[in-house]
Each structure stands twice: as structure tokens, then as C-alpha cells.
């Protein structure tokens, strides 16, 4: 998410290490599969029958804050370091709540 | 929504006041209040016998071993190194009941400083207010331990104090004289309002984090909600069967909890006055016969900083941790003669005070809020219950946002 050019092992198939999450605005977020599985909904989507197009290409639509949430969860679960503040601007809070509810996270 | 497998609170440290033998340890030795400064850098320990110790947080290494006696001493010279040089001792001259830190940093106030300093200093000032036995309130500067102001007005014990979280230096006090008073520390501690209405001792007061509401609770079993804008009564909350002695708002101001000698903690929606649930404090061992039962009168209740847990102290010698959504406590710790509790503002630690002047520090459940809860907290910090109900969202989402789903 820092804009650097990076090549990834690939987001082509169900076993790959990375998945690509695309927001409705077309922004692409490439995250480790393990992190994205924090969301019960994404997990179900990615492990479902492979007829579903989503599974083949590992793409799910949503927004960037959810990605940050996944990273925090993986990083700070079972860790003794202090959990930093996770600021949520009031104007996106409702939309983010809907996304969090849908994704069950 | 909660992290699994919460642990029992573990005792991290205990501070005991060292006392010369001639003191009668049975009287006036209680720790009625404990408090952390909102930025987590200081701890105030009302250790009985009119003394308040201000201890920098985190605690120095030497405090950690159990049973260490932190003797009260002057803060001037200390070559033995048993107490931190930054530690301050405030001699209040009479029994200390209520304690409150101002939010930090407060804007420096010319009039507050004028008495002690020829020029206004650049650094803003962290303040501690102490509520005393005869109704006086002493205002202290934490960094130096200097007495800044004496507020007079109350006719009886000042049992609890609360600063507005906004840093405006407005102080609310609750007293056995059945009134609450509003003081403006920007104007030399001028008393700007007296709130009357309670019929018996007022035990506690708490200001909502959004600074809109003041809660007070008293011996006549009722809980009052006042507007912090107009200083008028908004509503009375009825439901407790005995004196109500402790109250606290959730961090998003959406919930209010009150604790009573009737062994219950009630959780309310402060905007509608509805009772959302009751937390019953019952005996762990039901086989005790009636003559032996210790009443589980509540002494103190407080919310955790992320708003997902409560801690309660009761006369049945237990510190209980409750999860917001569950009907029974998730953890217990044995604690005799407990009087007060408070969470460390950044989470992870609970401080408790007892009748013999000791304070204990316990581990608190470490929790990663779900994104749903973080959004709820963000929304409820500025939306009232009625505003939530007016949103164009599904019913289940409204129930979640108004804490009706448990």
C-alpha cells in the first residue's frame, strides 16, 4: 500500500499466498491470503466451490480500512505489545460498519 | 466478537503504606478512591490518614515485588532510592474521599497560576482535585505537588469528583450534603452552579465522555441524569432497591452503568432511560446457609477503555470482570475489603483500593475489538440513540448500534 512497484508470486489460483481485493472504486489491494482469511465471509468465498469466479481469480470487492483491520488483528493477537489506536473518521464509520457486518470481522 | 479464553486477573503489584505504630490503623485509613491521569502517566493513591501519593506510571522496578512497603516520606531528598524522586506526597489535612485528575494537557490558566508564579509558565498543568471530609476541595498541581486552590461551598464530605473530559477545567463535585456543585477552575475556582434534588447523600458523579451528560447517584436509590450544557435535570432513573454508590459511562457515552448496595449493577441507555440489563452479584458457593451469607453489596463499577468489559468490586470479597454481552462474570479475583476500582486508560491493568489503605494492580483482559465494535464506538461517540434509530439501516444493525443485542 505504499505505492512501490512489487511483483507478487501470483494471485491466480486457490493455493497462492496472495489474494487481490478490489474496492468498488477499482483500487486493488494485494494481501496475504492468511490475513484476508480473518474475514469469515472472505474465507467462505475463497474456499467455496471453484465454479465461483471469485475463487478462481481470488478477487473480492471492498475497502482499504478492512485490510488495515486484518493486518492489525494478525499482528496484535497473542502479542503483548500495546495495541495502537485504530482511528475511524465519523463520515466513513457507517459504511465501514456495513462492510464489517457483511465480512463478519 | 470477543477474544476467546480470558484469563483470571493476576495480581501484578501491591502498594502498602508504611505506618508508624502509634496510628490507630482501624480509623481513617481507607483508600476511598484511586485514579489514573487520563494520559496514563500518573497514579493517585489516597492511602488514608489524609495523605495522597502521586506515583508516576509505569511503576518503578522496586514497586513490583509483592509486599514491598512504600513508606510515605517527603519528596525532597531520598538517597536510599526506595521511592521515585518524582513521586509526590500531598498532605490534605483531613480524610480524603474523592479524587479526580484533569485531562492533560489543559490550557494554562493565568488566574490559576498567578498566586504561585510571577509569570505564566509555558508548560500546561496537570491538576488533581481532592474531595475532603469537611466539604472542602483542594486543587493540586501534580508535577510539583503544590496546593493551587481551596474550593469551599459543600457542607459535608465531598465523596466524588469529575472533570469534564474536554479539558475545559470545569469540575463537578458530589457531596453528602445532597448537592452537586459545578466549579470553574478558569475563574479561580468560582462556584457556578449548585445542583439540588437528591434527598440523601450523593455518592458518585460521572461526566459522559462527549461532555453532554452528568450522572449522579444517591442514597435514596435514584440515579439522576443532568445536562452539562444547561445544568438542569434531564431524567431520573429508577430501579435500584438500595443506595446507589458508583456510576460510569461507556467510552462512547452510549451506555451508563450504576452499582448499588442491592447487589446489582444496572446497565442503562442514558438517552432513553431504558434498563438494558442487570448484573447480579451472587455467592459463588450456594450451599452457604442464610445466616452465613455475606451480602454482595457493590462498592464500585467501571468500564474498560475500549468499552467491552466491566470491573466490579463487591463486599463478598471478589473483584469480578464482566464481558458486555454475557450475563455472568468471566473472571474473579479474591479481594478483601475492596472499596474502589479503575482501569488504566490504555487498558491491560485494573487498580483497586481497600479499607486498610492498600492498592493492588491486576491484569485486565487484553482484547482486540472487532471492526464492528470499533465502528459502533466511533458512531455512538456522536450519535444519540434516537439518531441511530432514524438511520436508514436494517433493524438488526440498529439493535447492534444501540447495544440491544446481547
pLDDT of residue B120: 38
Angle (CA) B13 B11 B261, round 5°: 110
User: Which pLDDT tens digit goes with each residue over B303-315?
Assistant: 999 999 999 999 9
Percent of chain B with pLDDT over 90: 67
Q: What rounded mean pLDDT belongs to chain A?
A: 68
Radius of gyration of chain A (CA): 14
- Note whether A52 contacts B: Cβ–Cβ < 8 A: no
Q: ipTM score here?
A: 0.79
Q: Which helix (H) or strand (E) holds B4?
A: none
Quick one: B104 exposed, middle or buried, by C-beta within 10 A (0-12, 13-18, 19+)?
middle
- Picking from B7, B28, B44, the residue whose alpha carbon sits closest to that of residue B359 is B44
CA distance B213 to chain A (A): 21
pLDDT of residue B84: 59
Beta-carbon contacts of residue A75 (< 8 Å; ≥ 6 apart): none
Cβ–Cβ of A94/B393 closer than 8 Å? yes
CA distance B104 to chain A (A): 18
| Range picked from A67-71, B88-92, B204-208, B366-370 for highest mean pLDDT | B204-208
pTM listed for this prediction: 0.82
Cβ–Cβ of A105/B370 closer than 8 Å? yes
Q: Where are the beta strands (DSSP E) in B68-179?
A: 69-71, 88-91, 96-101, 127-132, 137-141, 147-151, 158-163, 170-175
| Residues shown for chain B | 406
- Note whether A91 contacts B: Cβ–Cβ < 8 A: no
Long-range contacts of B20-25 (CB under 8 A, 24+ apart): B23/B49, B25/B356
Cβ–Cβ of A94/B346 closer than 8 Å? no
- Note whether A85 contacts B: Cβ–Cβ < 8 A: no
| Residues shown for chain A | 105
- Picking from B95, B20, B21, B18, the residue whose alpha carbon sits closest to that of residue B51 is B95
User: Which pLDDT tens digit goes with each residue over B238-255?
Assistant: 999 999 999 999 999 999
What gap in Å lies between CA B323 and CA B277, rounded to an integer? 13
Amino acid at each position: 500500500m505504499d505505492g512501490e512497484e512489487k511483483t507478487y508470486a501470483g494471485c491466480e489460483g486457490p493455493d497462492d499466498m496472495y489474494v487481490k481485493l478490489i474496492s468498488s472504486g477499482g483500487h486493488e489491494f494485494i494481501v496475504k491470503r492468511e490475513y484476508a482469511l480473518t474475514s469469515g465471509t472472505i474465507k467462505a468465498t475463497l474456499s467455496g466451490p471453484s465454479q465461483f469466479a471469485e475463487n478462481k481469480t481470488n478477487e473480492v470487492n471492498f475497502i482499504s480500512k478492512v485490510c488495515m483491520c486484518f493486518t492489525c488483528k494478525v499482528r496484535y493477537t497473542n502479542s503483548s505489545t500495546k495495541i495502537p489506536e485504530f482511528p475511524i473518521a465519523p463520515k466513513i464509520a457507517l459504511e465501514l460498519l456495513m462492510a464489517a457486518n457483511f465480512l463478519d470481522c | 466478537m470477543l477474544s476467546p479464553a480470558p484469563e483470571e486477573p493476576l495480581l501484578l503489584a501491591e502498594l502498602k503504606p508504611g505506618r508508624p505504630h502509634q496510628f490507630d490503623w482501624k480509623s481513617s485509613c481507607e483508600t476511598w478512591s484511586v485514579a489514573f491521569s487520563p494520559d496514563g502517566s500518573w497514579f493517585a493513591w489516597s492511602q488514608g490518614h489524609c495523605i495522597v501519593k502521586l506515583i508516576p506510571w509505569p511503576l518503578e522496578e522496586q514497586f513490583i515485588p509483592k509486599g514491598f512497603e512504600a513508606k510515605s516520606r517527603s519528596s525532597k531528598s531520598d538517597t536510599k532510592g526506595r521511592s521515585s524522586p518524582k513521586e509526590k506526597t500531598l498532605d490534605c489535612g483531613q480524610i480524603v474521599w474523592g479524587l479526580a485528575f484533569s485531562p492533560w494537557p489543559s490550557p494554562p490558566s493565568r488566574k490559576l497560576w498567578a498566586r504561585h508564579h510571577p509569570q505564566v509558565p509555558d508548560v500546561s498543568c496537570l491538576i488533581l482535585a481532592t474531595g475532603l471530609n469537611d466539604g472542602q476541595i483542594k486543587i493540586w498541581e501534580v508535577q510539583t505537588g503544590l496546593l493551587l486552590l481551596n474550593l469551599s461551598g459543600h457542607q459535608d464530605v465531598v465523596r466524588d469528583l469529575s472533570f469534564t473530559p474536554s479539558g475545559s477545567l470545569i469540575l463537578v463535585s458530589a457531596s453528602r450534603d445532597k448537592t452537586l456543585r459545578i466549579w470553574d477552575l478558569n475563574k479561580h475556582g468560582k462556584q457556578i452552579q449548585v445542583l439540588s434534588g437528591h434527598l440523601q447523600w450523593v455518592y458518585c458523579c460521572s461526566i459522559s465522555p462527549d461532555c453532554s451528560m452528568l450522572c449522579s447517584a444517591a442514597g435514596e436509590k435514584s440515579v439522576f441524569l443532568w445536562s452539562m450544557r444547561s445544568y438542569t435535570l434531564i431524567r431520573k432513573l429508577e430501579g435500584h432497591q438500595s443506595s446507589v454508590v458508583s456510576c460510569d459511562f461507556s467510552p462512547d457515552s452510549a451506555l451508563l452503568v450504576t452499582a448499588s448496595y442491592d447487589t446489582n449493577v444496572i446497565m442503562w441507555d442514558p438517552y432513553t432511560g431504558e434498563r438494558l440489563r442487570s448484573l447480579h452479584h451472587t455467592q459463588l458457593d450456594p450451599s452457604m446457609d442464610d445466616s452465613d451469607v455475606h451480602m454482595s453489596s457493590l462498592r464500585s463499577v467501571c468500564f474498560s477503555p475500549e468499552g467491552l468489559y466491566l470491573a466490579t468490586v463487591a463486599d463478598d470479597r471478589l473483584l469480578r470482570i464482566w464481558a458486555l454481552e454475557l450475563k455472568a462474570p468471566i473472571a474473579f479475583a479474591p479481594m478483601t475489603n475492596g472499596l474502589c476500582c479503575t482501569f488504566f486508560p490504555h487498558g491491560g491493568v485494573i487498580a483497586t483500593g481497600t479499607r486498610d489503605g492498600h492498592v493492588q494492580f491486576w491484569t485486565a483482559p487484553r482484547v482486540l475489538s472487532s471492526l464492528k465494535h470499533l465502528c459502533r464506538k466511533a458512531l455512538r461517540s456522536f450519535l444519540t440513540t434516537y439518531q441511530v434509530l432514524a438511520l436508514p439501516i436494517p433493524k438488526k444493525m440498529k439493535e447492534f448500534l444501540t447495544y440491544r443485542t446481547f
